[in-house]
Amino acid sequence: MISCTQGLVMTLQLTVPSMACSACADTITQAVAAIDPTATVDADLKTKLVNIDTQQSEVAVKAAIASAGYPVS
């Protein structure tokens, strides 16, 4: 799900089924920060949902998370 919030910042809500612990969430946060240092990442371990406010495209964010070992569904 994508929604524009302001200017070029988008809010993405992604499902990451393999995210199981806080270390997983930290790794995902670091992967997103590597491509967008200004991004905000909020990971919910129970629902496996990751909400991201970013200026990068959804494709780039999904690729960064997948390259960190966490495929996005």
Q: How far apart are CA 43 and CA 14, in angstroms?
A: 9
| Topology adopted by domain 2-67 | Alpha-Beta Plaits (3.30.70)
**Contact assessment for residue 9 and residue 55, using Cβ atoms and an 8 Å cutoff:** yes
pLDDT band of 8, cuts 50, 70, 90: confident
Question: pLDDT higher for 42 or 73?
Answer: 42
Is the pLDDT at 12 greater than 90, yes or no?
Answer: yes
Sign of CA dihedral 30, 18, 60, 52: negative
The domain segmentation of the chain, as residue ranges, is: 2-67
**Which residue matches tokens 């930290």?**
26
- Measured CA to CA in angstroms, residue 32 lies from 8, 60 at distances of 16, 9
